[in-house]
Structure 1
Amino acid sequence: MVSSYNTINGTKKIRKEILEKDQSKETIGKKSFSHKEQSFKKLGLENVSCKYGEDTIFSNVNLCVKSGEKILISGVSGVGKSSLIRSILKEIRVDTGNLRINEEVYSQEEAYDVFAVVEQTPVVFESSILYNVTLGNDATDNAVISVLLEAGLPEFSNHNALQKKISENGSNLSGGQLKRIEIARALFFNHRVLLVDEGTASLDLKTSTQIHKLLLSNDFLTVIEVDHHIPEQVRGLYTSRYILTKNGLQEDLT
């Protein structure tokens, strides 16, 4: 079960998008890092360590992720995989080391511009499919249909289906559909770097495999996923696989 801490923190980006609903149409889906019209080229973690009180969560984490790469980070429960994701988002302060995007130190606000988070518990609203993708921002139906198709939701890719209302907690949709709506939302806002935190753990094997193939076969997406139960059928689709320990990352050669 996802803790309330993860659930609350998982809505941070969503709340930020809602607060930005007054941005101009021209900027929708075209945000860039540090307001310099740069595209994402790489993320670098250099000797990153994180503590909780006096206890070390992990230390000496070094990682370079280039645009388009698909990275899997596994490890035993409690080793700090989710904390590593929160560190990349600047929601958790690191004790030592540096995190850089395109060789530049970045802020939490800039992290929210670059990264989208896919967690075990989808964040959806009791509103239309259209609203759940756009968060109320202006967009043509065709623009929304385009990202729904890219996310593997052809059943919602027509003008009438966009008005379908999602029930409370998404009870009228399957887990796979809810996950794909989150992915469509990330694509709409041009977030091409996905941080996947146990994102398919609640899904059945078939659906989990389908969503992994959707993400890992998209050349335009950069994926950093932390999980410890990845379907065997998709493990070979990752660019690199690592195991997180308290002493850093080790290459997973299995």
Structure 2
Amino acid sequence: MKHYLKQNKLFMFFTILFTAFSSLSYVFMAILLQKLLDAVIQNNMSEFRRIVCFSILYFSLMGLFAFIQSLLTKKLICRVIKSVRTSTFSGILHHTMEDFTKKNTADYLSAMTNDIKILEENYLLPLFEVIQYTIIFGASLVVMIYFDFIVTACVIVCILCMLLIPGLFGKILENRQSEYSKALSKFTIKVKDFLSGFEVMKSYRLKAYILSSFGQNNEETIRAKYAADKVMAANEAVSMILSLSVQIVVLFLSAYFILIGRITAGALLGMIQVSSNLANPLLMIFNNLPKMKSIEPIAEHLNQLRDYTSTSFNGTLSPVFNQTISAEHLSFSYDKAVPVLTDISLEIQKNKKYAIVGKSGCGKSTLVKLLTGYYADYEGRIQYDGNDIHTLDIGQTLALSSTIHQNVYLFDESIYDNICLHQSFTQEQLEYALQASGLSAFIHNLPEGIKSPVGENGSSLSGGQKQRIAVARALIRKKPLLILDEGTSAIDMQTAYDIESHLLHKKDLTLLTITHHMSSDILKLYDEIIYMENGQITEKGRFEDLIKDNKQFCSFFHAKINC
């Protein structure tokens, strides 16, 4: 957290400055009360009037200082929270695809919401309270010495006892807060999972199970929170008892000193006032210190997200795809136990068209993801024009290709924004993408046209309409490599045929198509068909040659045709 506070050090300086002004004005009010009571007891009317006039000005300044201090504190907290959120989110976006998918997205959501909220409540707010009350305590101690040194010495003994409190509760509270953060993350993951499966829940009448599971997770979260709250309660109770002892010592000693004539009644009033400025600040300080200590695991988690660096892709060379993308003896497994790809070698030549076919689960999508830089932990080699992919800048490598998936994700924005993704394109480029994707007629019939909102993940559109938008999104960028991962499966056969045929006739495009559609008219247009079984490439060649060979692809093709 020190990193973020240093970023706002000038703002921090003025916040502390006005905190000091506000705190000191509050403390020195004890001297004002002493002077006032002594003037009343001495029946000194002129002194009384002077103190009243001064008090009006004094209290006005107190209010002004308190307002500015509060305003600056809130503004500084907002700036720090903004910086924490921005740097954490930036760190998350910096993750490679492989590392990002190792965690549930709800874990990232929990860090961005729950953890940052805990950070604000248990560190930032307590930090500025500790600063304020430390100034109040220090100034009050000076004023107490001004009133009477012996009373001050007795108070210091009580204070030394109070110094033990953070050590007693700090570590316990730190562990409890860490468990609470984990429980919140788990709860967020579950709720996201339940809401994402809302349709399944309704279709299969899972309401009773979902409510039961939700209740169990909710109970575990509350139990973790209460465990932390109990430690806080114990810390607050012990701190309160010790802080009251300070006021009791001041009250009885001061009363005794009045009886023996050591101090005046005004001094008693002033010391009672200032003793509360010793006890209450200490109470707040010792309540807040364990809270601040407890957020260390949470801060560490946020720092890890912020400071993420890839341990797999660290290349810096700009990728070039002017000739080939090649794989040599490529093997891969997600869990290191069950192989997904085994000893695959192939070459993708610039501007040629490839169809990757095979049964579901044979590794088609995994192969394409590896070729485009999604995963780094594989055996074998992947090269772009002879350069190993690990030596390349992975961000630029991913940017060489556009992928159209079967399940399209759309942002909750307009059709236009989902196509252009807030990048600039000419009207001619836009019209080309709309025509080639078959979107023009559909958009023409919408009241708001291309500016029509799509809803959350395209909830206001059909599956086919979403895929057309994804096709337009890819085509408008004219990247050298286009991947169709069942990318036209939800579109009617005629539109899908037109889109695929159009892409196959583009001379300046390298096309990789993963498909289950067995149309001989389309397959004949591909330069090479890659047939996969059980994570291996078993056949490669042109459509006519593979059919003549009458082997695995031929059997697969005819089985699909006869379905």
Bin the TM-score by the shorter chain.
0.7 to 0.9
* Aligned position for 1:48: 330
**1:98 to 2:386 alignment:** no
Task: List aligned pairs for 1:105-184, cutoff 5 A.
Answer: 105-106=388-389, 107=392, 108-155=394-441, 156=443, 161-184=449-472
- 1:144 partner SS: helix
In the alignment, the residues of structure 2 paired with residue 153 and residue 92 of structure 1 have an alpha-carbon distance, to the nearest angstrom, of: 33
State the SS of the aligned residue for 1:55. coil
Aligned to 1:74: 357
Matched, 1:251 2:540: yes
Q: Distance in 2 between matches of 1:39 and 1:149?
A: 28
Cα offset for 1:224?
0.9
Contact 1:116 1:193 in 2 (8 A): yes
CA contact (8 A) 1:40 1:114 kept: no
Partner of 2:348: 65
Q: Which residue of 1 aligns with 2:202?
A: none
Provide the C-alpha distance between the structure 2 equivalents of 1:171 and 1:133, rounded to a whole number of angstroms: 16
State the Cα distance separating 1:244 from its structure 2 match. Answer: 1.3
Q: Distance in 2 between matches of 1:209 and 1:103?
A: 35
Quote the residue 2:474 is aligned against.
186
Structure of greater Rg: 2
Look up the match of 2:130.
none
Structure having the higher helix fraction is 2
Q: TM-score, normalised by structure 2?
A: 0.36
Match of 1:85 among 363, 368, 386: 368
Q: Partner amino acid for 2:504? A: L
State the match for 1:196 in structure 2: 484
Shift of 1:172: 4.4
- Give, in whole Å, the separation in 2 of the partners of 1:132 and 1:149: 16
SS at match of 1:45: strand
| Matched-pair contact (CA < 8 Å) for 1:151–1:181 | yes
Aligned to 1:223: 511
**Amino acid aligned to 1:148:** L
* Superposed CA offset, 1:80-124 (max 9, x none): 112112211222235321111122123432331111111101222
Q: What is the one-letter code of the residue matched to 1:231?
A: S
After superposition, what is the alpha-carbon deviation per residue over 1:172-219, rounded to whole angstroms, capped at 9, x for unaligned? 445444323222222333323112222233334333323221222222
1:132: Cα distance to partner? 1.1
Letter of the 2:453 counterpart: K
In structure 2, the CA distance between the partners of 1:148 and 1:207, relative to structure 1 (3 Å rule), is closer
- Is this contact kept in 2: 1:89–1:112, CA < 8 A? yes
Residues 106-155 of structure 1 deviation map (CA, whole Å, 9 limit, x = unaligned): 34323311111111012222322221121112344343233333434333
SS in 1 for 2:339: strand
- Percent identity, aligned pairs only, is 25
Distance 1:211 1:241 in 2: 19
**Count of aligned pairs:** 222
Gaps of 5+ in 2: 1-96, 102-315, 548-563
Q: TM-score, normalised by structure 1?
A: 0.74
Contact 1:151 1:214 in 2 (8 A): no
Q: Which amino acid in structure 2 is aligned with residue 46 of structure 1? A: E
Question: Do residues 238 (structure 1) and 526 (structure 2) align?
Answer: yes
Higher relative contact order (CA 8 A, sep 6+): 1
Counterpart Cα distance in 2 of 1:54 and 1:175 = 35
Code of the aligned partner of 1:100:
Q
CA distance in 2 between counterparts of 1:210 and 1:170 reads 23
Distance 1:129 1:41 in 2: 35
- Hey, which bits of structure 1, 4+ residues long, moved more than 6 A? none
